Structures are given as structure tokens and as C-alpha cells.
Chains A and B, each alone.
Chain A
């Protein structure tokens, strides 16, 4: 098969990229290894999506459906159940589906493979290895898609949004959630979720605490929790035992990038595909967007970045070429930023996570300054920097100055 633009992954980013590439006149193939388009949105049945993009609050499946019905109106070949196995430097990709293995020759790629969850094994928690330990996304898929109940009494490790949303979901389905455990001294997710997912259901949140041991022969029986010091080391003597049959882990997402190893540069901090502000990677024919570049809080932003990457991938396929741009660098108090290079022309849309909570911070980018009252690592800042404020810089440093 031959195409102009091959989009890998049909989540929010991929659907947006495919649509915008098609609107810009390209022939598009959109692939996903799942049975349907939508990605993670399909299992996120809670509300909280689309407020910026659609100006109304939708659930994940509703947001996905709005886009997947649009796909039919354009020259887009959607291949579901179709895993991209390999991408080669000669601009060919090997696809695997139940119908067989085949090759696609393309002019450009938009890589939108999303993120995966950090698994239990990476946490190095001592103890037994019984059943009953799930990552939040897997638990969510079992409950919301497959109608399976995962246990009777659960403890949740990690107070990011996904962990808190799962705490509410489990409670509503009749599973007793005894507590949410968080290593940091503050919640890792949005305040609204602390209120509507935990406080509404009287689920306690233990801060500065972690799981130090799991016990159980076949099924999980006990989880040992201890308080941690400033260096996140457990404090001896503070252990508490929770008798639960289920442990749900919500300990972070990692951009999925394996398919592009050796082909593109990765961002050493976000671990995602390093891109310029037009979504172009270090390999000029590969564009990327969404959670495989940096982990976003809001799907609306994923959609907007997907649209941009799709548009430029289509222009590239038609023969247009772009500058590599000047580097965007991390300054004071900044944890993660996206993008990492600026191609002059458009205003720069920046996504920033602070390294720590700051009350009263001034964001400085080139000649641009903006004050923020409260900055939290769990709440990604999105800001548009006018091009004239960053014109002529050889490198653009982004910092959050404390008052």
C-alpha cells in the first residue's frame, strides 16, 4: 500500500492528526492495534473532557465518538486491529493484522501511540507476588469495558487523577476503597478530583506515605504502608497494615516510544518524542503528538497538537520543508516542557509542568513574562507566547521564578 501520511495510533491525537492531514489534501492511513478508534478515551467513562475544544463537558466515549464519526467524511483509511510492527528509515512500515502482514510506503508519519502505565515491577516493592494487583488503566478497562469486578476491598497507590477517578469508580460499583496512598506531601492530581472523587465518598488520602510490602499466598491479603521522610525513604516504626484483596497502582504514565528507537531523538526528561512546535521530530519525515511526546492532563490539548502535527505532515508530504528551529531549554523550577524547538512564524504554544508547588511564580520565556498565583506539578500550564516576544533568540529558556 502507498499513502501520503501514515498515522500510527488512533487515540485523540491520531484521530485529530488524520482529520487535519486529510483536510490539508493528503491521502491518509490511520492504524490502531485496538478493535476501535478512540484509544484511552474509550475506557474513561467519567466526565471531564472537551471543555476547551467543544465548550461543553463530555465523557471520554462521547469525545471519541465525535471524532470517529468525522473520520468517515474524509479520505481516511482506518485500519483497526492493525499493529504497526516496525518503521524503517526508507519510509516503509510493517503492519500486522489478523488478515496478515503487509507493508505501507509513506511520505510522512504522524506517530501518536500514547503512553503506557508504569508497571508494578518497576516499583521494587518487597514481599509476595499474589494476584489482586492491577495498574489503574487495566482495572479501568476490566470494570468499564469488560464488566468485571476486580475485588472486594481495595487500596490505591498514587493520587494522580487516574487513581482518584478509580477510587470513585470502585466505590460506586460496591468495592470498599480503604484509602489512597500518596508519596508526595500533596495530591498528585486536580483539586476537583480530590473533592468529587475522595471527599464526596469519605475516602481518606494519606500523604507522604508509601507501600513498603505486599503479602498474600495466592490472592493479595495485606498491604503494609509507611510514612516517608523528605527523601521518600520509609520511616521505621510508622508501618500500618491494611487488610485488602486488591491494590490499584496509579503511579504514572510513560510515553510509548519503542517503535521509533534509533529513528528519532527523545526528550531526556519527558522520555517522549522530542518535537518542534510544528510537531516535527528530529527525523524530518516523522511528526508526533499526544501522550507519546509528553503526558498531558487534558485531551483538548492532545487534540490541538494532533491537528497541528497532521497539518504539517500533510504539507511535508506535498514537498514543503521546514527549519529545525532554535532549542527551547528548561530553566529554574521547570520540570517538563513541550515542545523542545521553536520554528519561527507562528506564536509558540508551550506546555509546562513545574518541578514543585509554588505560590506566586512568574513565568519567563524570552521577553515574555506572566505571573501565576498557584503553580502545581499536577496541573500542566498551557500558554501562548507571541512570536515577537521570542524573535531573534538563539535559544529560548523557560523558567518559573519564585517570589
Chain B
């Protein structure tokens, strides 16, 4: 059987699987259903959550950390980074706020993962 490691969470299950006629015939080792979804994606179109940061003006931090609200296809990552580097937003921002909606038409948003309040000075 083939083996892959699920990267969806730090448990890192070692998933064993068998492909018959292009279909997944047998799967074992995943501790939760997300592992199966991961395997399917990995065979068709690998996806990742991308954590990074975006410039913020007038905040108590120079950066606000962000992430994709769901895994996006790996092939979009370089383009995503380029796009996020050009963005500047204004403070304040709350964790969970949407910074970019529906990026590259993937249905995935870029959301803030940190609250940045306005600089008091």
C-alpha cells in the first residue's frame, strides 16, 4: 500500500491507501475524516492553509497576521504572496475580520488572525 502523511493537524497520521482503477479502494490510519479529504485532495489537487501577514497602518503593530480561511490549491501560493505584499490596510482590525474576500475566485477568504488596535499616540 502507498503511504502519505496527513498535514491537516499536528497529529500527522500516517495514512496507508490503495488505488484501484484510479479510485481509492482502501484507506487506513487516518484518525479523523479530514484525513480522507486530505488524501483525495493530495491525489487530485494538493491544498494548503497559508499563514502570513499583511501591512497595517496606524496600528499598535506594523503587521497583522492573516491566514486563508480554508486550504487553497498549492499552485496559487506564489501569486497569493505577491498580492498580499501589495496590500496595506488601516487599523483597527479584529481577529476574524475578512481582509480579502474570495481570493482568486477560490471561495476562500483571507482573514485576520490577530486583533490590532489603533496606535494611541
Contacts and interface: CB of A to CB of B under 8 A. Distances in A.
Interface of A: 42, 45-48, 51, 57-59, 61-62, 65, 144-147, 172-174, 190-192, 195-196, 200, 297-298, 374, 379
A170 to B, nearest CB: 12
B30 interface: no
Interface string B3-28: 00111111110100000000000000
Given A58-B113, A62-B95, 17 more contacts: A42-B114, A45-B67, A48-B10, A51-B9, A57-B49, A59-B67, A61-B95, A61-B113, A62-B113, A65-B95, A144-B53, A147-B62, A172-B50, A191-B12, A195-B7, A297-B10, A374-B14
Given A61-B95, A62-B95, A65-B95, A192 B10 contact: yes
A173 B77 CA distance: 11
B10 A45 contact: no
B70 to A, nearest CB: 11
A200 B14 CA distance: 18
B115 A59 contact: no
A172 B74 CA distance: 12
A61 B65 contact: yes
Given A172-B81, A192-B7, A47 B67 contact: yes
A48 B6 CA distance: 13
A375 to B, nearest CB: 13
Contacts of A45: 51-53, 65, 67, 113-114
Contact of B48 (A146, A147, A173, A200): A200
A62 B66 CA distance: 10
Interface in B55-73: 55, 61-63, 65, 67
Contacts of A61: 65, 95, 113-114
Interface residues of B, number: 28
Between B12, B14, B50, B81, the greatest number of chain A beta carbons within 10 A of the residue's beta carbon is seen for B12
Interface string B79-104: 00100000000000001000000000
B55 A147 contact: yes
Contact of A48 (B9, B48, B53): B9
Interface of A is mostly: mixed
B61 A190 contact: no
B86 to A, nearest CB: 13
Between A45, A144, A379, the greatest number of chain B beta carbons within 10 A of the residue's beta carbon is seen for A45
Nearest to A58: B113
A34 to B, nearest CB: 13
Between A62, A65, A297, A374, the greatest number of chain B beta carbons within 10 A of the residue's beta carbon is seen for A62
Contacts of B9: 48, 51, 57, 192
Nearest to A51: B9
A279 B9 CA distance: 28
B62 A195 contact: no
Contact of B10 (A59, A144, A298): A298
A347 B49 CA distance: 37
Contacts of A173: 52, 81
A58 B49 CA distance: 11
A374 B63 CA distance: 40
A51 B11 contact: yes
A145 B5 contact: no
Given A59-B67, A65-B114, A146-B62, A172 B52 contact: yes
A260 B75 CA distance: 50
B115 A65 contact: yes
Contacts of B95: 61-62, 65
A53 B65 CA distance: 22
A201 to B, nearest CB: 9
A47 B49 contact: yes
Contacts of A200: 48, 74
B6 A192 contact: yes
